[in-house]
Amino acid sequence: MNPNLQADLRRFLADDARLAASLLSSGYQGSAYLFDDGGAHRIVVKAAGGGALTGWFHRIMLRREAHAYQLLRDVAGVPHSPGMLDEQHLLLEYIDGESLKDERDDLQDAEVFYARLRRVISDIHAAGVAHGDLKRKANVLVTRNNEPVVIDFGTAVTRNGSFIDQMLFPLLRRFDDNAWIKAKYARDYAAIAPEDMHWYQPTIVERVFQLILRIWRTLTFRRARKRRSQSRRQK
């Protein structure tokens, strides 16, 4: 990274007023800030939070996330990462987009978007990374060009990582595939197209949840009420 840019980032991180004004998000694991020098650089800076013990753990998780981004450096649909700054802060390309959670009902072409998202997820897996938290639609951005971008690899595991990572990789990859189905079909599993069915392999917990959901919908006459509502709108 350019030494001048590194110096600018360090001054930015030392300025409490600038940090407060540029806060993007904050949680128990840490905070994310937008560094914007008004020129060619718009960079998301992720900082680990917590005290002495939890902060140490969160910094380890931040470095794990940095490693995942390095494995994904050639994957379109994932922000580019210049890496870590002083082993304390993760630097990421800023992506101008809205979360899928907010944009799901306003997608320009939903079929095209979800086909593109499927390709991004497959490319992520091919690079040896499983995200693990795509059920959170806030982790998928929608750009102005209707392109999907997957962000926040804080829970990711790698196929060739530690023994635990290798054990968890198939499961988290399955979580990612299931999350894509849930997002595309809005949890209407009966509507899954035959060509997409092979992407959906629910876990035992998900099967139990679906059973409870079906029973609840039956007991509350949800389907009948939904049909009546649709009938009224058509009239």
- Three-state secondary structure of 109-162: CHHHHHHHHHHHHHHHHHCCEECCCCCCHHHEEEECCCCEEECCCCCCEECCCC
CATH of domain 97-201: 1.10.510.10
What are the residue ranges spanned by the domains of the chain? 3-93, 97-201, 205-235
What Rg, from alpha-carbon coordinates, does the chain have?
Answer: 20
What is the second-level CATH architecture of the domain 3-93? 2-Layer Sandwich (3.30)
Whether the model clears a pTM of 0.95, i.e. scores above it, the answer is no
Per the rule left: phi > 0, alpha: psi between -120 and 50, beta: everything else, 232 is alpha
Q: Which of 126, 198, 185 is nearest to 160 (CA)?
A: 126
pLDDT tens digit at each of 235 positions of the chain: 788 999 999 999 999 999 999 999 988 788 999 999 888 899 999 999 877 778 888 999 999 999 999 999 999 999 999 999 999 999 999 999 999 999 999 998 999 999 999 999 999 999 999 999 999 999 999 999 999 999 999 999 999 999 999 999 999 999 999 999 999 999 898 899 999 999 999 877 767 766 776 676 677 655 554 555 555 545 5
